[in-house]
């Protein structure tokens, strides 16, 4: 539906059969000329056989990263269509420059983050306990440039009102695949700032922290972690949280517990959950016993805030990122939510980090596809460039359609976020934002794994070679369906949004799609697609009416259908 709405459906249908339509005609002529030159040079060079050197004379030209903003026509068109002209001009200029900086040096920094992963040094050479988390220089530079570029700040400065989030997140989208995973702490930093703002917390500790989280000054800028998972539960937070908070006379609390995954452990602060103990040390179990706390990882006088970094996790991917097991042994913390409202209030953070998860997912898909596309104009097989093999072109075109669909879905959610924060969202948009945020997260995360895997195949054996830098993209996206709620948990969250709103979210969804597709009704070449969308819409919504008892088992398929109908 978003694709229809973007008036490009015809274009996308053609895209399936002819990948050449991805490029404007002038570019195509240049490409065709280039193709025949490359092909003829290739046959000359291979005819020399091994006479020039004992290793042979052929070396494959690798794929090249170019300005990803310029390469992303869907993003550019969306921004041009949505932002007012004067806003677009400013945003466009900054994104262009940032796209250049990524190619010029940021991408190199991300490679250093991958090559030099963090280390936890527990003892020094003389046996003294040190507990130092070592991170490479490139990781620290990512911190500084994130502040300078306003990667969190833009969303809170709100210089462009309802469009500020689109600006901030478009920038994060360009940055994500070259960030060395620094977008992970940024996601949680954004989530923490959002939580402080939404709850209207006025205690000086929170006010001071907020000013650091949204700062553009690298020395002042702080990042945040989010420590929710314990040994017994990542999904079942209520069943898994054992951490206890003991009230102190000065109004603070002391936390005792064991946090199982604390990503970006070098963050300055963290939001976490714990159960407040009464004077007898008793706690309330279940969701109602959980309260949200704020803590600083280091004490003002130096040293860790009564916590122990037990070990760094051995992860499949995201190794650039320090994720640790932490023992809280009297960590000083401040209560952020009302007692027992921890899960409900930390959901503010979760909604944000789930959008960031989707940014990472779509950005990774875009990155692998752009590299594969570039490579297809450099690699020759069976006597011609692989772009000129219809089947290869068809696969790339199908991926292109998936990526564009996911991107448009993402941008719509981000735009609603910006509207909500600026008091501009309609009731329909507010409802849709609640239901479709988990749908966006679960859908794009799974798509990212599939698209990146397919994208690697476009490089043949080279896609499997570590030193091309390509396999790391697949390893890193594999966390996206897990982090911040698995696919099942998010599918159930969609059902939660339906029941809590008394099905109002579904009504909003229905009317929104009818409204967006209205213009397609009367356009001849769109009539068939229109009928297909409306038919699918009715089928999906009827399913809820007819099968209330089967909703849980069908929750995943249902969420996928919501995503597909919305995108198509
Ligand atoms: O552990 C993880 C990391 C693994 C990977 C480590 C490597 C890191 C590398 C990173 C690289 C980037 S990830 C797992 C993180 N955990 C989660 O995301 C939590 C997943 N679980 C959920 O989301 C659950 O659905 C819970 C915890 C929210 C469900 O808890 P309950 O106790 O069943 O919740 P209730 O009772 O349904 O909801 C409690 C309140 C309700 O509000 P009230 O009380 O006002 O009615 C809900 O409406 O919370 C509200 N609520 C929400 N509100 C729940 N969910 C939401 C929501 N999404 N939005 C708004």
In this structure, the answer to whether residues 112 and 203 fall within a common structural domain is yes
Please give the pLDDT value at position 547: 83
What residue numbers bound the domain in which 16 lies?
2-40
Residue finishing a domain among 160, 190, 213: 213
In this structure, the answer to whether residues 190 and 162 fall within a common structural domain is yes
In this structure, the answer to whether residues 330 and 356 fall within a common structural domain is no
Please state, in angstroms and rounded to a whole number, the distance separating the CA atoms of residues 489 and 482. Answer: 10
Two structure tokens written together for 373: 């596309």
Please state, in angstroms and rounded to a whole number, the distance separating the CA atoms of residues 115 and 447. Answer: 27
CATH code: domain of residue 270:
2.40.110.20
Residue to mutate, 231, 237, 487, ligand 1, most ligand atoms under 8 Å from C-beta: 237
Kindly state if the Cβ of 484 falls inside 6 Å of ligand 1: yes
Kindly state if the Cβ of 198 falls inside 6 Å of ligand 1: no
| Three-state DSSP class for residue 556 | helix
User: Is 196 within a domain?
Assistant: yes
In this structure, the answer to whether residues 164 and 197 fall within a common structural domain is yes
Give the strand pairing for 290-296 and 224-227.
unpaired
User: Is 64 within a domain?
Assistant: no
The length of the chain in residues reads 568
Two structure tokens written together for 70: 């310029």
User: Is 57 within a domain?
Assistant: no
Task: Count CB atoms within 10 A of the CB of residue 118.
Answer: 20
Residue to mutate, 228, 260, 311, 343, ligand 1, most ligand atoms under 8 Å from C-beta: 343
CA of 228 to the centre of ligand 1 (A): 9
In this structure, the answer to whether residues 389 and 518 fall within a common structural domain is yes
Kindly state if the Cβ of 327 falls inside 6 Å of ligand 1: no
Atom 56 of ligand 1: nearest residue by CA position: 347
In this structure, the answer to whether residues 481 and 398 fall within a common structural domain is yes
For 274, the enclosing helix (H) or strand (E) is strand 269-276
Radius of gyration of the chain (CA): 25
Q: DSSP assignment of 326-382, as one string?
A: EEEEEEEEEE-S-TT-HHHHHHHHHHHHHHHHHHHHHHHHHHHHHHHHHHHTT-EET
CA of 493 to the centre of ligand 1 (A): 8
Atom 21 of ligand 1: nearest residue by CA position: 235
Please state, in angstroms and rounded to a whole number, the distance separating the CA atoms of residues 52 and 293. Answer: 68
Number of domains in the chain: 4
Please give the pLDDT value at position 421: 97
In this structure, the answer to whether residues 26 and 105 fall within a common structural domain is no
Residue finishing a domain among 192, 213, 234: 213
Ligand 1, residue 341: give the atom nearest the CA: 44
Ligand 1, residue 184: give the atom nearest the CA: 12
Please give the pLDDT value at position 167: 98
Kindly state if the Cβ of 260 falls inside 6 Å of ligand 1: no
Residue finishing a domain among 343, 365, 391: 343
State the DSSP code for 307: E
Atom 27 of ligand 1: nearest residue by CA position: 237
User: Is 125 within a domain?
Assistant: no
In this structure, the answer to whether residues 256 and 306 fall within a common structural domain is yes
Please state, in angstroms and rounded to a whole number, the distance separating the CA atoms of residues 371 and 65. Answer: 7
Ligand 1, residue 260: give the atom nearest the CA: 1
Kindly state if the Cβ of 180 falls inside 6 Å of ligand 1: no
In this structure, the answer to whether residues 262 and 176 fall within a common structural domain is no
Per the listing, tokens 């010029």 go with: 104
User: Is 241 within a domain?
Assistant: yes
User: Is 62 within a domain?
Assistant: no
User: Is 65 within a domain?
Assistant: no
Please state, in angstroms and rounded to a whole number, the distance separating the CA atoms of residues 451 and 431. Answer: 30
Q: Which residues of 414-430 are buried (b: 16+ CB within 10 A; e: fewer)?
A: bbbbbbbbeeebeebbb
CATH code: domain of residue 426:
1.20.140.10
Residues 536, 537, 543, 545: is their CA dihedral positive or negative?
Answer: negative
In this structure, the answer to whether residues 150 and 100 fall within a common structural domain is yes
In this structure, the answer to whether residues 107 and 26 fall within a common structural domain is no
In this structure, the answer to whether residues 110 and 156 fall within a common structural domain is yes
Kindly state if the Cβ of 495 falls inside 6 Å of ligand 1: no
Kindly state if the Cβ of 234 falls inside 6 Å of ligand 1: yes
Please give the pLDDT value at position 281: 84
Ligand 1, residue 183: give the atom nearest the CA: 12
CA of 159 to the centre of ligand 1 (A): 31
Kindly state if the Cβ of 376 falls inside 6 Å of ligand 1: no
Please give the pLDDT value at position 41: 67
Please state, in angstroms and rounded to a whole number, the distance separating the CA atoms of residues 568 and 560. Answer: 12
CA of 327 to the centre of ligand 1 (A): 22
State the DSSP code for 42: H
CA of 349 to the centre of ligand 1 (A): 10
Ligand 1, residue 438: give the atom nearest the CA: 58
User: Is 414 within a domain?
Assistant: yes
State the DSSP code for 106: I
**Cα–Cα–Cα angle for 417, 563, 560, rounded to 5 degrees:** 130
CA of 170 to the centre of ligand 1 (A): 26
Atom 50 of ligand 1: nearest residue by CA position: 344
Please give the pLDDT value at position 37: 74
Please state, in angstroms and rounded to a whole number, the distance separating the CA atoms of residues 351 and 434. Answer: 9
CA of 502 to the centre of ligand 1 (A): 20
Two structure tokens written together for 66: 């170019």
Kindly state if the Cβ of 458 falls inside 6 Å of ligand 1: no
CB 420 within 8 Å of CB 433: yes
Q: What is the pTM of this model?
A: 0.92
Please give the pLDDT value at position 545: 86
Kindly state if the Cβ of 344 falls inside 6 Å of ligand 1: yes
Two structure tokens written together for 333: 């913390």
Residue to mutate, 288, 344, 486, ligand 1, most ligand atoms under 8 Å from C-beta: 344
Please give the pLDDT value at position 7: 43
Reading the chain (568 residues) residue by residue, the pLDDT tens digits are: 455 444 443 433 343 334 444 455 566 666 677 667 777 766 665 555 665 556 788 899 999 999 999 999 999 999 999 999 999 999 999 999 999 999 999 999 999 999 999 999 999 999 998 889 999 999 999 999 999 999 999 999 999 999 999 999 999 999 999 999 999 999 999 999 999 999 999 999 999 999 999 999 999 999 999 999 999 988 999 999 999 999 999 999 999 999 999 988 999 999 999 999 998 889 899 888 999 999 999 999 999 999 999 999 999 999 999 999 999 999 999 999 999 999 999 999 999 999 999 999 999 999 999 999 999 999 999 999 999 999 999 999 999 999 999 999 999 999 999 999 999 999 999 999 999 999 999 999 999 999 999 999 999 999 999 999 999 999 999 999 999 999 999 999 999 999 999 999 999 999 999 999 999 988 999 999 999 999 999 999 999 888 888 999 999 999 999 999 999 8
Residue to mutate, 240, 347, 442, ligand 1, most ligand atoms under 8 Å from C-beta: 347
């Amino acid at each position: 539906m978003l694709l229809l709405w973007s008036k490009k459906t015809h274009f996308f249908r053609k895209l399936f059969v002819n990948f050449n339509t991805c490029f404007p005609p002038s570019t195509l002529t240049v490409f065709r000329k280039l193709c025949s030159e490359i092909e003829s040079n290739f046959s000359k060079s291979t005819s020399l056989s091994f006479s020039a050197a004992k290793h042979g004379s052929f070396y494959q030209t690798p794929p090249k990263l170019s300005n990803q903003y310029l390469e992303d026509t869907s993003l550019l068109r969306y921004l041009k269509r949505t932002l007012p002209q004067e806003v677009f001009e400013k945003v466009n200029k900054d994104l262009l420059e940032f796209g250049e900086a990524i190619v010029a040096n940021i991408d190199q920094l991300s490679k250093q983050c991958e090559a030099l992963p963090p280390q936890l040094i527990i003892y020094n050479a003389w046996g003294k306990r040190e507990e130092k988390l070592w991170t490479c220089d490139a990781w620290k530079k990512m911190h500084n440039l994130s502040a300078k570029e306003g990667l969190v700040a833009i969303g809170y400065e709100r210089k462009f009102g309802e469009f500020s989030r689109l600006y901030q997140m478009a920038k994060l989208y360009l940055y994500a695949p070259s960030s060395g995973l620094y977008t992970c702490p940024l996601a949680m930093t954004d989530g923490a700032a959002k939580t402080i703002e939404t709850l209207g917390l006025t205690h000086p500790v929170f006010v001071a922290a907020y000013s650091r989280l949204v700062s553009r000054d690298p020395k002042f800028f702080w990042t945040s972690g989010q420590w929710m998972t314990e040994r017994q539960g990542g999904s079942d937070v209520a069943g898994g949280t054992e951490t206890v908070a003991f009230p102190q006379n000065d109004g603070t609390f002391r936390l005792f517990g064991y946090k199982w995954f604390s990503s970006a452990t070098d963050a300055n602060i963290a939001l976490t959950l714990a159960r407040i103990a009464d004077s007898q040390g008793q706690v309330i179990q279940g969701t109602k016993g959980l309260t949200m706390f704020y803590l600083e990882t280091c004490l003002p006088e130096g040293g860790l805030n009564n916590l122990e970094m037990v070990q760094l996790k051995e992860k499949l991917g995201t190794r650039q990122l320090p994720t640790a097991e932490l023992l809280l042994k009297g960590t000083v913390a401040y209560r952020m939510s009302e007692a027992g409202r921890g899960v409900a209030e930390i959901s503010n953070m979760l909604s944000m980090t789930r959008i960031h998860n989707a940014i990472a997912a779509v950005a990774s898909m875009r990155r692998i596809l752009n590299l594969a596309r570039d490579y297809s104009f450099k690699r020759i097989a069976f006597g011609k460039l692989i772009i000129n093999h219809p089947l290869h072109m068809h696969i790339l075109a199908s991926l292109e359609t998936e990526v564009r669909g996911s991107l448009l879905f993402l941008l719509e959610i981000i735009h609603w976020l910006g509207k909500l924060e600026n008091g501009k969202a309609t009731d329909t948009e507010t409802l849709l934002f609640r239901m479709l945020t988990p749908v966006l997260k679960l859908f794009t995360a799974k798509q990212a794994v599939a698209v990146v895997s397919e994208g690697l195949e476009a490089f043949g054996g080279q896609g499997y070679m570590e030193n091309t830098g390509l396999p790391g993209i697949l390893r890193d996206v594999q966390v996206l369906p897990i982090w911040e709620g698995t696919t099942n948990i998010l599918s159930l969250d969609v059902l939660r949004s339906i029941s809590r709103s008394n099905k109002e979210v579904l009504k909003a969804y229905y009317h929104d799609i009818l409204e967006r597709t209205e213009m397609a009704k009367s356009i001849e070449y769109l009539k068939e697609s229109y009928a297909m969308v409306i038919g699918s819409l009715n089928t999906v919504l009827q399913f809820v009416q007819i099968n209330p008892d089967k909703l849980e088992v069908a929750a995943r398929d249902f969420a996928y259908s919501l995503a597909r109908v919305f995108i198509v």
